[in-house]
Structure 1
Amino acid sequence: MVERSGRSEPAVLPALLRAWLGTVAALAALVVVVLGVRYADDSTPGRVDARISAAADGVGPPWRHVALALDFLGEPAGSTMLIVATVAACLLLRRPRAAVLIVAGVGVTVGTATLLKHVVGRTIHGDGNLSYPSGHTAFLTALAVMAALLAPRRLGLGRTAGALLVLAAALVAGAAMGWAQVALGAHYPTDALGGWCTALAVVPATAWLVDRTADRLVDRTADAGRPDRR
């Protein structure tokens, strides 16, 4: 059985989570905009940034090795490995629509983060490195959220449990990568928050678009296969 009759595959954005994720996406987008306006064309840490960075920046072994490993997952080689593995898992589970979401979701999220960096123009260390929002944090958060979206239906979770699972995945991935970026001095904490919120704003919209496009294709294919009745 699927969420809608006549569909060959379940939606990647579960119906029971659409309203909740829509609200989260709207709030996340608001945070991205507010922080972007606040730190536009800035190159200095805010008060909160300074306090958090003082505690997390410059960690030594073994935590620095952990931070470097997490940072690698957001680099081209590491992110490619994660995407390929996740897409392969979706295909093995016979969820091609989910595989499309992984590729599209990552592309739109990272593309949005990159565009925002040039629009906001915040830099770090005074060397021209655009920092807001954190693309690494946005990437890992997006991937975690998209993976978590597959679980509610597969595990038979209800609305509350499914929402908590998606939120937990987003928090763990975002906090881990955000900490790594701050610990390595690559981003301010508010950059990481902006990246986290970017993913939360983009992924639900991308999932909805993937479902809508796939459903239309299924409908057109079904209509084309029906005999012409006159």
Structure 2
Amino acid sequence: MRTAVRTAPAALPAVVRTPSLVAAVAGLVVVVVLGVGFAGDTAASAFDAPLLPGPDLLPDPWWYVATVVDFVGEPMGSAIVLVLFVGAALLARRVRTALLVLVGCGLTIAVTSLLKPLTGRTIHGGFLSYPSGHTAFATALALIGAFVLADRLGRAAALTVTAALAVACGALMAWTEVGLGAHYPTDTIGGFGAALAIIPATAYAVDRVADRL
């Protein structure tokens, strides 16, 4: 097992390592600034208000689409996705990636869950909302998938794919959570920032530990 970990492809490919770690710092800043700024709030900010859906939320058939996407971030859905990601990584002999899925996504879920009561921002009269754990989870998975693809691409293409996947998946889940009335838009930005901060840093840590085995 030790040999398999040491010789496996990097969790954070060198081609995107530095930009990803810089982005991680930016993500951390976003999480902290928004968390402090909206701590204890019980209403939409001036930025959020125009982006919120009407009282009837999303119309059909978009409500059903959003419900399916939302399931990915629910306990059952996230467990299924994690098993699939870990299984695929192990089949591809990417042991470090499998570890990143478990540790990185686990940390993402834990951190966003802990930040909710710490910030105390609520929506709909008492539901803790900041940051969006669903958005963070979707972005985390996108980043991990992008790191796998980056191994096969040149620097420019790798950076483009990484950014595009993270933004696309994060935006899709953000649209879902806002459309279903579960979060303010700024909650989803905080969730995106959390994944951006956690996943590259965790991937770097996994590689450092693996290289020392």
Determine the structure 1 residue equivalent to 2:136: 138
**Where do 1:75-86 residues align within 5 Å?**
75-86=74-85
The higher radius of gyration belongs to 1
Query: Could you tell me how far 1:113 is from its partner in structure 2?
Result: 0.7
3-state SS of the aligned residue for 2:47? helix
Query: Could you tell me how far 1:57 is from its partner in structure 2?
Result: 6.8
3-state SS of the aligned residue for 2:52? helix
Native 8 Å contact 1:132 1:194 kept in 2: yes
Gaps of 5+ in 2: 1-5
Query: Could you tell me how far 1:92 is from its partner in structure 2?
Result: 1.1
C-alpha distance in 1 between matches for 2:140 and 2:55: 24
Q: 1:201 aligns with which of 186, 197, 204?
A: 197
The alignment of Structure 1 onto Structure 2 pairs a total of residues equal to 208
Q: TM-score, normalised by structure 2?
A: 0.94
Identical residues among aligned pairs (%): 50
Determine the structure 1 residue equivalent to 2:183: 187
3-state SS of the aligned residue for 2:7? coil
* Runs of 4+ off more than 2 Å: 54-57
Determine the structure 2 residue equivalent to 1:216: 212
Determine the structure 2 residue equivalent to 1:8: 7
Determine the structure 1 residue equivalent to 2:43: 44
C-alpha distance in 2 between matches for 1:139 and 1:54: 23
Query: Could you tell me how far 1:56 is from its partner in structure 2?
Result: 9.9
Query: Could you tell me how far 1:213 is from its partner in structure 2?
Result: 1.2
Query: Does 1 or 2 have the higher relative contact order (CA < 8 Å, sep 6+)?
Result: 2
Q: Specify the code of the residue in structure 1 equivalent to 2:78.
A: S
C-alpha distance in 2 between matches for 1:90 and 1:41: 40
Query: Could you tell me how far 1:54 is from its partner in structure 2?
Result: 3.7
Determine the structure 2 residue equivalent to 1:4: none
1:152-195 CA distances to partner (integer Å, 9 max, x unpaired)?
21x2x111111111111111110000000000000000001100
Q: Specify the code of the residue in structure 2 equivalent to 1:15.
A: A
Determine the structure 1 residue equivalent to 2:17: 18
**Where do 1:111-150 residues align within 5 Å?**
111-126=110-125, 128-150=126-148
C-alpha distance in 1 between matches for 2:77 and 2:9: 29
